[in-house]
Structure 1
Amino acid sequence: MARIEPHPRPGTPHLHAGRFAQRYARAVVACRHVVVLVWIGLVAAVLLTTSPAEGGPAARLQGFIDPSDRTLATEIESAKEFGFPLMSRTLLVQRDPDGLSPYAQAEVVLRALALNRGEYPEAEPVRGALPVTNTLEWFPASSERGTTALTYLFMDPEAGTGRQTGSAQRFAANHLEADDHYVGVTGSIPAREEQSHIISAALPMVERVTLVAIALVVALHFRSVLAPVLAIGTAGAAFLVTIRLAEIVGTFFDTTVPEELRPLVLALLLGVVTDYVIFYLSGMRRALNDGLPRLEAARTASGQYGPIVVVAGVTVAAGTAALAAADSPFFAAVAPAMALAVLVGVVVSTTLVPALMALLGRALFWPTRRPVLRPARVQAGQDRGIRFLTRRPVALVVVLTLTAGLAAASLPLRDLRLGVGFVQSLPETEPAGRAAAAAAEGFTPGIVAPTLLLVRGQDVTARRGELAELSAAVAAQPGVAGVLGPGTLPAELEDRLLLAPSGDAARYLVVFEDDPTGASAIAALRTLQQRLPELMTGAGLAGASWGLGGDTALASALVGITEGDLGRIALAALVVNLLILVLFLRALVAPLYLLASSVLALTASLGIATWVFQGLLGQDGMTFYVPFAAAVLLVALGSDYNVFAVGSIWAQARGRPLREAVVLSVPQSSRAITAAAVALALSFGALALVPLAPFRELAFVMALGIVLDAIVVRSLLVPTLLVLFGQVSGWPGRALSGRATAAATPVPAAPPGSP
């Protein structure tokens, strides 16, 4: 913990570090040349040894959930019972708005039959096909007739997404002619493959834009040319080392970061490293402006901010590691990578940055040679503002107003709906998105991935009337566009596709009205699940068992797991952040309301995002992982800023009344925190350059949450809360004991133009 210098310069309080921090600062400055050479060697080693990334995204949506899930078991049981699957996650789309010719429609059926007979060995890993046209009027909800044909391809489940998608595309290129009006390949597997390519293609642009944004923020804040070079170099070194370590850790533990979250890890790493660089350089500039020599200034800044950076970094790393408490493999896989990225950033910041500060000194702030002084009127206005804000009646009004405003902004969060939306998140300009849109126009959006309903019971196939009645009952449920089931197809097709040879199973394909992995389809499926026991009884099938499979059922299971993880993740993140704040501040009361303020900023951000994306933009829910990843990150980053802002106030309050400590510390810390927050917000905001819906959502939520936390919470709400709670904030510790009683004491104004 930092302590106050016995005789600080008026208006520029100079914090000195504890004994351990002083030893660390002396060591890193003394070994500055070695430290820089070691980091150069590490970066060179990484560049020389890093191999191209191998593999790709999981082969299917199942990779996101537990393999023992009941939904997967239903699909496996169906394939075993019938000898072949009825579920397909890859399909060819043909469409002519003016109508497909009878010849083209006949060819669709003939090609599918040939695939089923194995007449296209080059189509490996295709195992079979099912043709569907909207001419047959199997789906009453189809918006057109005779315009669209689909060929569902059944693939070897062991083949990866790239192989499955490539096989479908090659088959279409080799066997479909111009008059077949081929649109493209779509389905959850091609969509996943396409998402992977989009992310990989966009990552370099995200990196470049993020680095440029960081450079501009640092350059403007310090009015320097070399300061942004140091920030970018440090962030780059951290990024390269993190990527290599992540590969090693992933190989050792047989884990990999989901493709969807790799840009998020990048933004987090670059953002937090920039934050820590800004705080170090702020301390260095202040020490140099106080007249300290280069090496002494580097030691002073390192001793002051080194321990705070470590505590802040550990807070963020521990907070992100809380995702490991999730049952979902999706979240559990990304937790180590995020924690590792932050820890590497801490190590780089606490070693390379002080070493470079010691080597470069005031040259870091070139071309600025003299202290940057604010105009006297600006300084005086800021002093009057903070003194006015810290009057108890004013502070009470500010706390009530801000709390009410943030609470009101949180209200739309009640309407938050979650989906997966693999196909839905793709731009329609992409092949899979364009093909899905064409299929939706000819049929209905749910046609891209129908849901499997498997009914099992002894001699159940002999009860055709009851099975047909169930088809009609399911088709009448809300959100269901149509059903392919017993009673809806010619008898010969029913016998082959829908009624098991054993006589003990029947199956249905249920097509929903909306995107099959979107929030609306998931809601419709859950309604169907609740009503199925009643529907089975009403159809005379009370003794039979049933199960659901397909992408909608898997998406529902994934969203359900995520919702179930919320309690564990939230509890783990809050406990970890609270514990670190309690240990750092040696108090209990202040950490409680500091954490509560961070949570309030988080819920306000999510509430506004829900209103924007679901309300203004009419989006069908938000991507399932966005609110939870944002929640963990924003709470952790909020605690990170708490460490910097309140830690400074705590140290000042050791030698003066709490209100005076707030008046002296807040203007100084808020400037650095605001600059750091802008850099971090831009880092996450760059995620919007990835042209996928989840990244636009993440960019918006994270950028908004960081700005709210830094500007509204840290600069306004926290100082007023400290004044209102007074010395009780430090309970049960004694850090503030006897200091807040002088709150009414006049606060000395900082001298005009103090930095």
Structure 2
Amino acid sequence: MGAAPGSATSTPPEGNPPGGRTLPVRAAAVLLTRGWWAVLALVGVGVWATVTSLPTLATAGGGLSEVISEDAPAVQAQIRAYEIFGLPLLTRIAVVQHHPDGLDPYAQARATLRAAEVTEPAYRGRPTPPLLLAVPVFDGLPRGVPEGLTPGSGTTLTAEALRSAGPTTTIVTYLFTDPRAPTWVQEQVARDYAARIDHPGDHLLGVSGTIPLQSEQARIVAQRLTAVEVASVVAVALVVALAFRSVLAPVITLVAAGTAYVIADHVVGTVAATYGISAPAQLEPVLVALALGLSTDYAVLFLSGTARRLRAGQDGRAAARGAVEDYLAIVVVAGVTVAAGVAALSVARTELFQAFGPGLALTVLAALLVSVLAVPPLLALFGRAVLWPGRPLRTRQESREQASPWEPDRGRSRFVRFITGRRGAAPAAAVGALALLVVCALPVTGMRASVSPMDALPEGNPVRVAWEGAAAGFAPGVLSPTEVLVTGTGVAARRDSLESLQRALAERPGVAGVLGPVQGRLPDAVPDRYALFLGPHGDAARFLLVLDADPLGAEALDTLRAVQRDMPALLAEAGLEGASTAYAGDTALGLGLVESARADFVRVAVVVAVVELVLLVLFLRSLVAPLYLLACSVLVVASSLGLTSLVFGELGQEGLIFFVPFAVGALLASLGSDYNIFGVGDVWQAARTRPLAEALAVAVPRSTRAIGAAGITLAASFGLVGLVPLAPFQELAFAMAVGVLLDTFLVRAFLVPALIWWVGPASAWPSRRLRTAPARAATRAVSPPGR
């Protein structure tokens, strides 16, 4: 293509571009733009090979339960209890029948007979796997059902209380399945059992428990994934089209974003299958948002550089080549920074975070690779048509002036002129922005953690409805009780002490009921090797706690944490000094995850901070600016989580899902460094040939426009993850969208420029890049263009 009149295709425009023009960068720019056809063919072959030969995350990934270590204390406690007693007390799946006006005696009899068909062979030592036991529990406690469990009583039942018990409104049939069977097999067994409850008077609500909960979450994610993808594509297309007033600009962006997601999905799935990394399939909506958002970020940067040069009068292919020379190094460093930041999750000891880290990092690298290899060749292919139907040329006056694409944008540098032209304006602006972020961050001090509560499911969901029916008849924790194992020499013979401990546990706040040695023994037909609450060898006893809260919610976790804290005193008061305790069940497992996550927080935060700081120091060649830039990113994370905690707390949620703050923290901190490299790197390069005030006036408006478009698309991509009607995704979507918008329109547009001007040339210490800018400007004035 020939150059447009007045353009200079052989030399760069006036001033140094933000990314520098090293020989490798120039060579890559030539290869990507002149050899566009070969590069695009290579990308096409790579995509074809990926799609046809590699598995996706949906086929290779596992569920959240698969990233829980078998070494977890709660898992080990459950295994030990089974070895001692021979019978399990805990199950993660149950069938619920409920009617508020009561279930008639015939419905109760049918429930008992159905369970007996399964239970009697097991009592004779001949269970029929995968369903081993079926144990119905009635809230009205008819004769023959163990005492001790009544809704919200907090005490053990007496004979008088039994006589005054109300009608039976709820039957929960616990199904004990072979733990070696896959979860989908266990759930199917439960649904087959429930299918036999076909009498209208049985009032079946359905199957519930933590296994159906996880399976329902996975189903909802798969069901809504297409909606998230379509909405994200539409949002990206609209934002890019409006930003560049072009039809082809969003096409280029979406080609890059879609290709990045396809490659990331297959690569993450391959790594999960090959190396045994249990990347949860529920990660997929986050991968969609991250792949589309980052690909759009990098595409917008290349598009901005190309559009600026086209409007300056350059030829289409020369404009694309110049944009690559300007931004290739920045995009690569930014992508590596984000990948390193999210990969830092892998240093956590919690297996869930270890599973998230590689998946997120591979997605970032896929977005980086595709953006670098696909966007520049497409820009070279379409040339000046990239801005169609907009006008690629300037107005007549602008064309006559032939101004450089690196000139100050006087229409958009009003804030920069304000902070640089008035004494005290920069400190005031910085303090005001910092104060706003601190106020937004205050709620984070009271943030509570939950795991995966039932109310995380949407209202009306069958699994949630069944749980609500069980909670109405008994207590919210009835489907997932907590097993407390007490061991010590001769402890089973100390009945008075055990009964005293049981009464003390029943009186604890948040405990709805306790089953234990007070309820006694199994039927005489059961072999001696089996025991219910007292170990057959005399050295163990156990209790079953039903909590008065969602077993995986923040309130239940707090209750169990308090029980564990006070247990030594409770044992001493009951006369069981020297006995040891262990805890099993979903609440114990969730509490272990939350406590492990808290311990991991410092470790992950330090690694993320060090990685981001080192990369910023190397890129900016400064020790001062990276410190306050990192502090800004930390404040954005805290503000985002504070606002999320406040909003969802007002909506009635007990606490944020425990992994959301970690994912949000790693992503926002990494993306903040990404934008630091875009924006501050632009200022640093502009300051090589200009005084600091002029460098700010040139770079800040230019980078703010590009970062603004990129930030809106990234916020939209993550915000649309909230279309998945599950609490973890809605919390993550809100936190990421708010954090990205704060970072884009408060921190990058106002706080960072104010801090740079306030700190002044010392920001670049120990280099003298900012200090010597006037001299360099003078040198540029007498130097040939491009030098």
Instruction: Report the TM-score range of the alignment, normalised by the length of the smaller protein.
Output: over 0.9
Counterpart amino acid of 2:447? L
**C-alpha distance in 2, partners of 1:122/1:192?**
27
**C-alpha distance in 2, partners of 1:444/1:234?**
51
Total equivalences in the alignment: 736
Task: Show the counterpart of 1:753.
Answer: none
**Aligned ranges for residues 564-579 of structure 1 at < 5 Å?**
564-579=599-614
Task: Show the counterpart of 2:414.
Answer: 384
Task: Show the counterpart of 1:77.
Answer: 80
Structure 2 vs 1, CA of residues 255 and 171 (structure 1 numbering), >3 Å: closer, same or farther? same
Look up the SS of the partner of 2:652 in the other structure. coil
Structure 2 vs 1, CA of residues 722 and 592 (structure 1 numbering), >3 Å: closer, same or farther? same
Task: Show the counterpart of 2:43.
Answer: 39
Task: Show the counterpart of 2:535.
Answer: 500
Does 1:452 find its partner at 2:474?
no
Structure 2 vs 1, CA of residues 532 and 14 (structure 1 numbering), >3 Å: closer, same or farther? closer
Larger CA deviation: 198-207 vs 693-702: 198-207
Structure 2 vs 1, CA of residues 595 and 375 (structure 1 numbering), >3 Å: closer, same or farther? farther
**Aligned ranges for residues 396-545 of structure 1 at < 5 Å?**
396-488=427-519, 496-545=531-580
Counterpart amino acid of 2:45? G
**C-alpha distance in 2, partners of 1:546/1:256?**
31
**C-alpha distance in 2, partners of 1:374/1:664?**
22
Larger CA deviation: 42-51 vs 319-328: 42-51
Match of 2:636 among 583, 596, 601: 601
Task: Show the counterpart of 2:245.
Answer: 223
**Aligned ranges for residues 600-639 of structure 1 at < 5 Å?**
600-614=635-649, 616-639=650-673
Task: Show the counterpart of 2:28.
Answer: 24
**C-alpha distance in 1, partners of 2:62/2:109?**
36
Counterpart amino acid of 2:755? L
**C-alpha distance in 1, partners of 2:20/2:551?**
60
Q: 2:67, 2:278 within 8 Å by CA — same for their partners in 1?
A: no
Deviations 1:137-173 (A, max 9, x none): 6334349751001011111111122111111011110
Look up the SS of the partner of 1:292 in the other structure. coil
Q: 1:188, 1:422 within 8 Å by CA — same for their partners in 2?
A: no
Structure 2 vs 1, CA of residues 600 and 345 (structure 1 numbering), >3 Å: closer, same or farther? same
Q: 2:521, 2:533 within 8 Å by CA — same for their partners in 1?
A: no
Structure 2 vs 1, CA of residues 483 and 465 (structure 1 numbering), >3 Å: closer, same or farther? same
Counterpart amino acid of 1:47? V
Does 1:89 find its partner at 2:120?
no
Match of 1:104 among 93, 107, 110: 107
Tell me how far 1:510 sits from its aligned partner: 0.3
Counterpart amino acid of 2:620? L
Match of 2:745 among 701, 706, 711: 711
Task: Show the counterpart of 1:180.
Answer: 202
Q: 1:392, 1:724 within 8 Å by CA — same for their partners in 2?
A: no
Structure 2 vs 1, CA of residues 42 and 717 (structure 1 numbering), >3 Å: closer, same or farther? same
Task: Show the counterpart of 2:132.
Answer: 127
Larger CA deviation: 554-563 vs 255-264: 255-264
Task: Show the counterpart of 1:748.
Answer: none
Task: Show the counterpart of 1:244.
Answer: 266
Look up the SS of the partner of 1:117 in the other structure. helix
Does 1:370 find its partner at 2:399?
no
Larger CA deviation: 554-563 vs 332-341: 332-341
Deviations 1:434-476 (A, max 9, x none): 1111111111111120000111233322222221111100011
Q: 1:99, 1:147 within 8 Å by CA — same for their partners in 2?
A: yes
Match of 2:117 among 109, 114, 118: 114
Q: Which runs of 5+ in 2 are unaligned?
A: 1-9, 142-146, 154-165, 399-407, 779-787
Deviations 1:22-60 (A, max 9, x none): 1111122222110111112222233333557436644x8
Task: Show the counterpart of 1:235.
Answer: 257
Counterpart amino acid of 1:434? V
Structure 2 vs 1, CA of residues 197 and 534 (structure 1 numbering), >3 Å: closer, same or farther? same
Look up the SS of the partner of 2:47 in the other structure. helix
**C-alpha distance in 1, partners of 2:553/2:24?**
54
Q: 1:15, 1:304 within 8 Å by CA — same for their partners in 2?
A: yes
Larger CA deviation: 140-149 vs 633-642: 140-149
Structure 2 vs 1, CA of residues 741 and 512 (structure 1 numbering), >3 Å: closer, same or farther? farther
Q: 1:445, 1:512 within 8 Å by CA — same for their partners in 2?
A: yes
Tell me how far 1:540 sits from its aligned partner: 1.5
Tell me how far 1:15 sits from its aligned partner: 6.9
Deviations 1:548-604 (A, max 9, x none): 110000000000111110011000000000111100000010011011111111111
Deviations 1:350-392 (A, max 9, x none): 111111111111111111133477999x975533333013344
Larger CA deviation: 689-698 vs 65-74: 65-74
Q: 2:521, 2:531 within 8 Å by CA — same for their partners in 1?
A: no
Look up the SS of the partner of 1:481 in the other structure. strand
Does 1:262 find its partner at 2:284?
yes
**C-alpha distance in 1, partners of 2:754/2:13?**
25
Does 1:209 find its partner at 2:244?
no
Q: 1:29, 1:358 within 8 Å by CA — same for their partners in 2?
A: yes
Q: 1:313, 1:343 within 8 Å by CA — same for their partners in 2?
A: yes
Deviations 1:168-224 (A, max 9, x none): 011110244222111011111110111111111111111111111100111110111
Match of 1:320 among 342, 349, 354: 342
Larger CA deviation: 79-88 vs 68-77: 68-77
Counterpart amino acid of 2:417? R
**C-alpha distance in 1, partners of 2:288/2:479?**
33
**C-alpha distance in 2, partners of 1:128/1:418?**
34
Q: Which runs of 5+ in 1 are unaligned?
A: 746-755
Tell me how far 1:255 sits from its aligned partner: 1.1
Larger CA deviation: 532-541 vs 558-567: 532-541
Structure 2 vs 1, CA of residues 35 and 470 (structure 1 numbering), >3 Å: closer, same or farther? same
Task: Show the counterpart of 1:139.
Answer: 149
**C-alpha distance in 1, partners of 2:104/2:506?**
30
Larger CA deviation: 493-502 vs 362-371: 493-502
Look up the SS of the partner of 2:134 in the other structure. strand
Tell me how far 1:225 sits from its aligned partner: 0.8
Q: 1:392, 1:723 within 8 Å by CA — same for their partners in 2?
A: no
Tell me how far 1:67 sits from its aligned partner: 1.7
Counterpart amino acid of 1:360? F
Larger CA deviation: 731-740 vs 415-424: 731-740
TM-score (norm 2): 0.89
**C-alpha distance in 1, partners of 2:776/2:468?**
68
Q: 2:553, 2:654 within 8 Å by CA — same for their partners in 1?
A: yes
**C-alpha distance in 1, partners of 2:285/2:128?**
34
Deviations 1:519-556 (A, max 9, x none): 11111101000111111111122132221110000000
Counterpart amino acid of 1:430? N
**C-alpha distance in 1, partners of 2:708/2:335?**
18
Task: Show the counterpart of 1:749.
Answer: none
Deviations 1:697-733 (A, max 9, x none): 0000000000000100000000000000111000011
Counterpart amino acid of 1:261? L
Does 1:191 find its partner at 2:213?
yes
**C-alpha distance in 2, partners of 1:162/1:512?**
27
Look up the SS of the partner of 1:506 in the other structure. strand
Does 1:689 find its partner at 2:699?
no
Larger CA deviation: 225-234 vs 631-640: 225-234
TM-score (norm 1): 0.93
Q: 1:131, 1:151 within 8 Å by CA — same for their partners in 2?
A: yes
Match of 1:558 among 593, 604, 626: 593
Deviations 1:105-151 (A, max 9, x none): 23222322221224999984111122211112633434975100101
Tell me how far 1:403 sits from its aligned partner: 0.8
CA RMSD of aligned residues (A): 2.7
**C-alpha distance in 2, partners of 1:65/1:565?**
15
Look up the SS of the partner of 2:537 in the other structure. coil
Match of 2:701 among 667, 670, 695: 667
Tell me how far 1:634 sits from its aligned partner: 0.1
**C-alpha distance in 1, partners of 2:414/2:209?**
62
Q: 2:54, 2:267 within 8 Å by CA — same for their partners in 1?
A: no
Tell me how far 1:688 sits from its aligned partner: 0.5
**C-alpha distance in 2, partners of 1:449/1:726?**
59
Deviations 1:69-113 (A, max 9, x none): 222121111111111211110011000111011121232223222
Q: 1:145, 1:442 within 8 Å by CA — same for their partners in 2?
A: no
Structure 2 vs 1, CA of residues 38 and 486 (structure 1 numbering), >3 Å: closer, same or farther? same
Counterpart amino acid of 1:710? T
> Sequence identity, in percent?
44
**C-alpha distance in 2, partners of 1:338/1:185?**
34
